[in-house]
C-alpha cells in the first residue's frame, strides 16, 4: 500500500542553521504518527516542510505517491495536507464562525462544516458568534483545529496543540482528537507531553538535533529507549530524568 504522506531525505535550513537533516518518514491513512524530541530538535520545521510552508534544501515530499515538493502550502492544502501551526494564528477581528469558514476556502468535498466541527469540539458551539480576540487559549486552539478540519484534510499536522493550556482543557482537546480521527484522517502530532503522546500514537518518531533517531510503536519501544533518543545519551544522569528542567519530555505528573 502506498503511504498517504512521505518525506524522503529531507534537509532543511534557516540560513546557516541546519534544522532538519536527512529525515525520512511516512504516515498511512488513518494513522496517528507522533513526532517527539527536545526543543530545537527540528519537529516544527519538518511539519512546515511537509505542509509546504518551508522549502527544504534537499529531499522530497510525496502525497499518495505524487511528488508535491514543488507545490506551495495553499496548493498542498487543496490536495488535503493541513497544518495547525504552533501559536494558533486566528483572525482576531473575526468571529469564531468566520474563522472556521476561512478554513473552508479550499472547498475540498468532505464531512466537515461548522456544525460537524462544533459536534467534535463542543466548547466552540456556544462561542460561534464571539469575536476570536475574546477567547481563552484553549478555545483559540479549538478554533485553530476546527478551521483546519473545515478544509476537509486527509492529513492533519498538529504542532504543540497543548502548549500553555490547563490539563483539563488539554484533556478535552484530546477527546476531540479521538472523535476527529474517525473516517481515515491521518495525523502527525508534535507534542511535548510524552505520556499523552504514548497513549494516543499508533507510531512515533523521535528527533534529535535535526535527525530522526528512533522509530516504532509505543508498545515496541521501551521508555529507556525513548528517553535516550530524546536526550541523545545512553544513560540518564541522576536528577535529570524526563519532566525535569532541561527541556526534556513532560509526563503529566505520572512517572514512567
Ligand atoms: N525562524 C528561524 N530562524 C532561525 N533558526 C530557526 C528558526 N526556526 C527554528 N530555528 C532553528 O531550527 C532548529 C529546529 O527548530 P524547530 O523549531 O524546528 O525545532 P522543534 O523541535 O520544533 O523545537 P520546539 O519544540 O522548540 O518548537 C533549532 O535550532 C532552531 O533554533
Q: Is the CB of 37 under 6 A from ligand 1?
A: yes
Q: Given this model, what pLDDT does residue 234 score?
A: 55
By CB atoms closer than 10 A (0-12, 13-18, 19+), residue 29 is middle
**Cβ 23 under 6 angstroms from ligand 1:** no
Q: Which of 10, 11, 34, 44 has most ligand 1 atoms within 8 Å of its beta carbon, as the pocket-test mutant?
A: 44
pLDDT confidence of 253, banded at 50, 70, 90?
very low
User: In angstroms, rounded to a whole number, what is the distance separating the alpha carbons of residues 225 and 137?
Assistant: 34
Quote the pLDDT of residue 196: 87
Count of other CB atoms within 10 angstroms of residue 251: 17
CB of residue 35 inside a 6 A radius of ligand 1: no
Atom in ligand 1 nearest the alpha carbon of residue 17: 5
C-alpha 222 – ligand 1 centre gap (Å): 27
Arithmetic mean of pLDDT over the chain: 88
How much distance in Å is there from the Cα of 128 to the middle of ligand 1? 34
Substitution site in 7, 35, 42, 160 for ligand 1 pocket (most atoms within 8 Å of beta carbon) = 42
19 Cβ inside 6 Å of ligand 1:
yes
Which protein residue's CA is at the shortest distance from atom 30 of ligand 1?
A: 40
Confidence at 244, pLDDT banded by 50, 70, 90: very low
pLDDT at 11: 98
Residue 38: partners with Cβ closer than 8 Å, 6 or more residues away: 208, 230, 231, 247, 248, 249
Report how far residue 193's alpha carbon sits from residue 242's, in angstroms, rounded to the nearest whole number.
Answer: 10
Q: Which residue has the higher pLDDT, 109 or 156?
A: 156
State ipTM: 0.96
Q: 5-231 in CATH: which number? A: 3.40.50.300
- Quote the ligand 1 centre to 182 CA distance (angstroms): 32
Considering the entire predicted model, what is its pTM?
Answer: 0.89
- Count other C-beta atoms under 10 Å from residue 43's C-beta: 28
Amino acid at each position: 500500500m502506498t503511504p498517504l504522506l512521505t518525506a524522503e531525505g529531507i534537509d532543511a535550513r534557516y540560513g546557516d542553521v541546519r534544522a532538519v537533516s536527512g529525515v525520512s518518514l511516512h504516515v498511512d491513512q488513518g494513522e496517528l504518527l507522533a513526532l517527539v524530541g527536545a526543543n530545537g530538535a527540528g519537529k516544527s520545521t519538518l511539519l512546515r516542510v511537509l505542509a509546504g510552508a518551508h522549502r527544504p534544501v534537499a529531499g522530497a515530499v510525496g502525497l499518495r505517491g505524487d511528488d508535491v515538493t514543488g507545490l506551495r502550502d495553499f496548493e498542498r492544502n487543496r490536495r488535503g495536507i493541513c497544518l495547525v501551526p504552533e501559536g494558533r494564528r486566528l483572525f482576531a477581528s473575526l468571529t469564531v464562525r468566520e474563522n472556521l469558514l476561512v478554513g473552508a476556502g479550499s472547498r475540498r468535498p468532505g464531512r466537515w462544516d461548522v456544525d460537524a466541527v462544533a459536534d467534535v469540539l463542543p466548547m466552540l458551539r456556544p462561542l460561534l458568534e464571539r469575536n476570536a480576540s475574546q477567547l481563552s487559549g484553549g478555545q483559540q486552539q479549538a478554533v485553530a483545529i476546527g478551521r483546519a478540519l473545515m478544509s476537509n484534510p486527509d492529513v492533519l499536522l498538529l504542532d504543540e496543540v497543548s502548549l500553555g493550556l490547563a490539563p483539563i482543557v488539554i484533556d478535552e482537546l484530546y477527546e476531540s482528537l479521538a472523535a476527529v480521527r474517525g473516517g481515515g484522517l491521518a495525523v502527525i502530532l508534535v507534542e511535548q507531553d510524552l505520556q499523552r503522546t504514548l497513549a494516543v500514537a499508533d507510531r512515533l518518531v523521535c528527533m534529535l538535533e535535526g535527525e530522526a533517531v528512533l522509530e516504532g510503536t509505543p508498545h515496541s519501544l521501551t521508555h529507556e529507549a525513548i528517553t535516550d533518543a530524546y536526550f541523545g545519551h545512553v544513560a540518564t544522569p541522576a536528577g535529570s530524568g524526563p519532566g525535569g528542567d532541561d527541556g526534556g519530555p513532560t509526563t503529566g505528573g505520572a512517572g514512567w
